[in-house]
Amino acid sequence: MDQGRTTASRTCQPYHRLWPGRIPWISLLLVGGVLTWLVPAAVTAAGSRTLVVILGTGSPVPDPDRSGPSLAIVVGGNSYLVDCGVGCVRRAVAAFQKKGIEALRDSNLKVCFITHLHSDHTLGYPDLMLTPWDRRSGALRVYGPPGTSAMTENILRAYAADIQVRTKGLQGSSVDTVTPEVHEIASGVIFKDGSVTVTAFPVTHGTFPNSFGFKFVSPDRTVVISGDTAASDAIVEQARGADVLIHEVYSMEKYARVPPQTRQYLRAFHTSTEELAVIANKARPKLLVPIHKLGHAGLSAGAIKRELRKAGYTGRVADSHDLDIY
């Protein structure tokens, strides 16, 4: 926790000092276990189905075919991003242009949940802030772990020259729509509107502090996202009977080839195909979607799925790719 956080909101001083008197404050709320109604009730089209759109199935290892970790839950006309790995905005626009998902037009990327602040999950955050800036109405709302506010302030400071030119010059950009409304989260229900209720739960991601998984409940579906995590019973509890479980994974075939220290790291920070098979067999989601496939590069197509089967998982499992829709 930040030192001195004694109230629910405070000024983001570093950015505010750049343009005194002109910059609205970033709202910083600590929400944990308390329902928050932070947006107007969204309109959910009657009969519309909740969609999971995978924007990036990649891991920190760059792969042109797999963007950084990011996905979208789409309910009616609303989209809710989970993580903002590199390429998230372009993948979202691809989903709009190629799949006809209007809610993923860049101007409609208005809400983002961040599982943890590892760089592979946040490299697209400046992109999300700055690329749709002039087409977005209102502030981007971001729900992330402690430290999200500081990251936001520092990104704004890093792009101070760009922001100054765009707001002071001929482009006429509004500072209001580049400055995110940041909500730092704790466990519990962190968001609720007319389309979804989002619950955050802690996961164990090695020594990385404040890592969360998320559970989205919409009128027609329950979707659980593991975030980055070692094998955890928390996932089993949250995902029991869920419609979709989206879970990170690493390949045991690759694990067998790496040195002992890397193995130690993988066991502490991530979940193997063998472990995920056990988790999924206990939770019995209607569909398992493996993402964040560490060690996937160089493996043959469908390798992760085959490893899950070999480890005894008998339920439905997707061989996920960017822009898949479930």
Tell me the C-alpha distance between 81 and 59, whole Å: 17
Tell me the C-alpha distance between 312 and 315, whole Å: 9
Tell me the C-alpha distance between 268 and 265, whole Å: 5
Q: Tell me the torsion sign for CA atoms 174, 177, 183, 184.
A: negative
Contact between 120 and Zn ion by CB under 5 A: the answer reads yes
Among 118, 247, 293, 296, binds Zn ion (CB under 5 A): 118
Strands of the sheet containing 28-31, edge to edge, are 28-31, 181-185, 141-144, 111-113, 78-82, 70-75, 51-56
Is residue 127 part of the annotated active site? The answer reads: no
Contact assessment for residue 203 and residue 227, using Cβ atoms and an 8 Å cutoff: yes
Q: How far is the CA of 248 from the CAs of 31, 75, 153, 166, in angstroms?
A: 26, 23, 29, 39
Contact between 181 and Zn ion by CB under 5 A: the answer reads no
Contact assessment for residue 240 and residue 252, using Cβ atoms and an 8 Å cutoff: no
At closest approach, how far in Å is the CB of 126 from Zn ion? 18
At closest approach, how far in Å is the CB of 157 from Zn ion? 24
Looking at the Cβ atoms of 163 and 225, the one nearer to Zn ion is: 225
Looking at the Cβ atoms of 118 and 296, the one nearer to Zn ion is: 118
Contact between 228 and Zn ion by CB under 5 A: the answer reads yes
Q: Which among 246, 228, 249, 224 is positioned nearest to 237, based on CA atoms?
A: 224
Grouping H, G, I as helix, E, B as strand and the rest as coil, residue 2 is: coil
- Lookup: tokens for 148: 């999200």
Looking at the Cβ atoms of 13 and 261, the one nearer to Zn ion is: 261
Looking at the Cβ atoms of 59 and 238, the one nearer to Zn ion is: 59
- Lookup: tokens for 212: 């969360």
Q: How many C-beta neighbours within 10 Å does residue 299 have?
A: 15
Tell me the C-alpha distance between 27 and 234, whole Å: 30
Looking at the Cβ atoms of 86 and 178, the one nearer to Zn ion is: 86
Q: Which among 83, 46, 50 is positioned nearest to 197, based on CA atoms?
A: 50
Stretch that binds Zn ion, among 134-142, 162-170, 228-236, 276-284 (CB under 5 A): 228-236
Contact between 83 and Zn ion by CB under 5 A: the answer reads no
Stretch that binds Zn ion, among 25-33, 91-99, 192-200, 220-228 (CB under 5 A): 220-228
Stretch that binds Zn ion, among 34-42, 101-109, 183-191, 224-232 (CB under 5 A): 224-232
At closest approach, how far in Å is the CB of 60 from Zn ion? 6
Count the residues of the shown chain that bind Zn ion, applying the rule CB under 5 A.
3
Stretch that binds Zn ion, among 47-55, 112-120, 281-289, 296-304 (CB under 5 A): 112-120
At closest approach, how far in Å is the CB of 123 from Zn ion? 10
Looking at the Cβ atoms of 184 and 248, the one nearer to Zn ion is: 248
At closest approach, how far in Å is the CB of 227 from Zn ion? 8
At closest approach, how far in Å is the CB of 292 from Zn ion? 5
Query: What is the x/- site pattern for Zn ion, positions 270-309, by CB under 5 A?
Result: ----------------------------------------
Stretch that binds Zn ion, among 17-25, 140-148, 151-159, 226-234 (CB under 5 A): 226-234
Tell me the C-alpha distance between 133 and 128, whole Å: 8
Tell me the C-alpha distance between 165 and 160, whole Å: 9
Residue list 10-69, contact with Zn ion (CB under 5 A): none
At closest approach, how far in Å is the CB of 68 from Zn ion? 8
Catalytic residue among 2, 83, 120, 243: 120
Q: Tell me the torsion sign for CA atoms 87, 262, 202, 244.
A: positive
Q: Would you name the residues annotated as active-site residues?
A: 120
Residues at the contact surface with Zn ion, assessed by CB under 5 A: 118, 120, 228
